[in-house]
Amino acid sequence: MALRIIGCGNCDRGDDAAGVLVARRLRTLGVEAREQSGESFSLMDSWSGFERVIVVDATAPSGNPGQFRVWNAQTQSLPEDGFPSSTHAFGVREAVELARVMNRLPETLLIYGIEGRDFSLGAPLSPEVVRAVESVARQLLQMVSASADPAEAMCNHR
């Protein structure tokens, strides 16, 4: 089954860069990963034709910067207040819910959310998010190397 990994975010907005940086780290480790702003329609286009998709994005601050969670979009809705909207006002959460309504979700769609601290224009990446980027990239590398089904591997990593 074809797998696509997509890192979403904006490198000019502090911790919002988390998903993009995971994608870049994966590429240095020899794993194909795409970068996206997280805008709904281009995100849906980028997973079109793939049966297994993993999206990595920053989540809104809730007191635990660097903590990451994984949602299985086939069985769970994403939290309304968890994902900051992209600069286009429709982000990852909206893309997932729109794809659900349009019956365009991939067979497996996992969303890795890395909690950020500061999303201000020009802010540096938080040290906790730097560590989480590396941790998520290593976890995804291990999953890809084992050729595991992402949904099954997610259960084994919790």
- Taken in order of first residue, the domains within the chain and their CATH numbers are 3-157 (3.40.50.1450)
**Chain Cα centroid distance, residue 87:** 16
**pLDDT given for residue 40 in this prediction:** 73
pLDDT tens-place values along the chain, 158 residues long: 589 999 999 999 999 999 999 999 999 999 999 999 877 788 899 999 999 999 999 998 989 999 999 999 998 888 776 665 544 457 888 889 889 999 999 999 999 999 999 999 999 999 999 999 999 999 999 999 887 566 555 444 43
Helix/strand/coil percentages in the chain, nearest 5: 40, 20, 45
Q: Is 70 in contact with 109 (CB distance < 8 Å)?
A: no
Q: Is 14 in contact with 20 (CB distance < 8 Å)?
A: no
Q: Is 132 in contact with 86 (CB distance < 8 Å)?
A: no
Q: Are strands 68-72 and 108-115 parallel, antiparallel or unpaired?
A: antiparallel
Q: pTM for the full model?
A: 0.87
